[in-house]
Structure 1
């Protein structure tokens, strides 16, 4: 069947390679989580986080020296902001108010009265509650998307889409575990928005597959595979432009944004890239795999949609 589409690469033919790569990355991610877990930030681990604006350029060594004067060792603060004038320090314990006041005073004595500090304290109970709510948020989002796709299309599309978006979310989590990047509340927001952007790419391709399926007669699996590959290429330009538009924003935030949003932007970049990959290389081939197991009707006509 001629789809008037220039096929530059046969994604369906090479689907097993994509499956093997994705499974391997998933296994590596699982091992990393089991061995190293995630590098939880103060939002998910009891402790105190101090974000101090000193009003002038400073260095990590100078900031560490000030904190050590308060009797706190083994803390390595980060320095950022415009002109390296902000110091962020995370403490793995809930600091008493007098200790927080002492640290502020030490920074004021060194840098002047323009010093200001923002303090974020998370208790053990609050950290546990945030972790549980995060898991529920991801599960509820996934189930809601599956129900929507099942109503809008059919169950095979729903299963393929949900496996792919969960893979996208897991890729972000796995890479943050492997490279020991800090996981905080903005990271969770990035994972949830990744799921939203990822399903958009998949719906575009699935809609074209459904349209081609509706008006075609497919006598064997090879013809069905050709149709899926053609559908991918028919929507390729739209998907690329959509992803690139958001990637430009995420890259700009990562390069020019403050330290507090860099990891959020990085999680978005990883999620968007994975979403574009999974839409083409996982979701569509998975739907074909599920459709191929459907018992054919009469003249092996797979064009009928539920």
Structure 2
């Protein structure tokens, strides 16, 4: 650890010097994610493929997963895995990969009513193939529009190199969540998409903070070579480190609590949030700022600046 007197900050670790290691790790994870998507694709939920979702409420009675699975097996659905939720296990969520006819859902409800009484109620959601396809297309457009809007905003407020580095890092954060869900075969549904989009929002906040500090340091410090530029980036990272960590930690703690103590329906949403937040913090420090450093170093010197420097 050393203290940078020029920027009045402690440098505990040289991120710039280790940038190639970060790039290599990120590229390896990206390749693994691409291969997983090509080979296995995503484990789509009912929201993104044709199917039926049944939420069955037992109105005061409780049920275990094994009991629910046995009733569904009696109805002819042995391969379906129900999810039991609620305070006392009085709610059953069942996802079918096919569109059920009304007679089929009525038969399932009859089995539950025969065992748990006439107060049993249900909410049935059916997603047709056309609707699933439309949801998938709209999701892709939502991510593209959000990314383009972010890039335009940053280009207006900062510069195009920062905008490009920021957008690459943000898309990387979104892809990391998608890749991990693909690798571990976790289910992708609408709450997952909400988690990805909110990840982009939190990620852009971290990156604007650090780029704002880089811009401020460049305004008050003349940078003449790569070593000085690297020193400025390293100092900017550590000047904003505490703020970034505290901001991310406050949200991560909430997301972890939701994952541990929340209902089954929001566990995957919480997990996607945790992955996205951690990836966003990593990419801000190890990817976005480092990419900008590489692009800024390759910038052609301004002719007027060169003449003024040679004249002095």
Normalising by the smaller structure, the TM-score range is over 0.9
Query: Equivalences for 1:131-146 in 2 at 5 Å?
Result: 131-146=136-151
Which stretch of the first structure deviates more once superposed, 262-271 or 290-299?
Answer: 290-299
Query: Equivalences for 1:49-64 in 2 at 5 Å?
Result: 49-54=53-58, 55-64=60-69
- Tell me, yes or no, if structure 1 residue 82 matches structure 2 residue 120: no
Q: 2:51 aligns with which of 19, 26, 47?
A: 47
Q: 1:100 aligns with which of 96, 100, 105?
A: 105
Report what 1:27 is aligned to: 31
Mapped partners of 1:300, 1:145: distance in 2: 33
Aligned pair in 2 of structure 1 residues 229, 300: CA closer, same or farther (>3 Å)? farther
> Residues 203 and 284 of structure 2 are in contact (CA less than 8 Å); yes or no, is this contact kept in structure 1?
yes
Structure 2: give runs of 5+ residues left out of the alignment.
Answer: 308-312
Structure 1: give runs of 5+ residues left out of the alignment.
Answer: 302-306
- Runs in 1 of length 4+ with deviation above 4 angstroms? 298-301
Mapped partners of 1:193, 1:88: distance in 2: 26
Report what 2:14 is aligned to: 10
Please report the RMSD computed on the Cα atoms of aligned residues, expressed in angstroms: 1.4
Which stretch of the first structure deviates more once superposed, 242-251 or 148-157?
Answer: 242-251
SS in 2 for 1:163: helix
SS in 2 for 1:137: helix
Mapped partners of 1:56, 1:229: distance in 2: 60
SS in 2 for 1:6: strand
TM-score, structure 1 normalization: 0.95
Mapped partners of 2:277, 2:290: distance in 1: 19
Number of residue equivalences? 301
Q: 2:261 aligns with which of 256, 275, 299?
A: 256
SS in 2 for 1:49: strand
SS in 1 for 2:53: strand
TM-score, structure 2 normalization: 0.93
Q: CA deviation at 1:300?
A: 6.3
Report what 1:304 is aligned to: none
Deviations 1:230-283 (A, max 9, x none): 000001111111111111221121122111111111111110010000000000
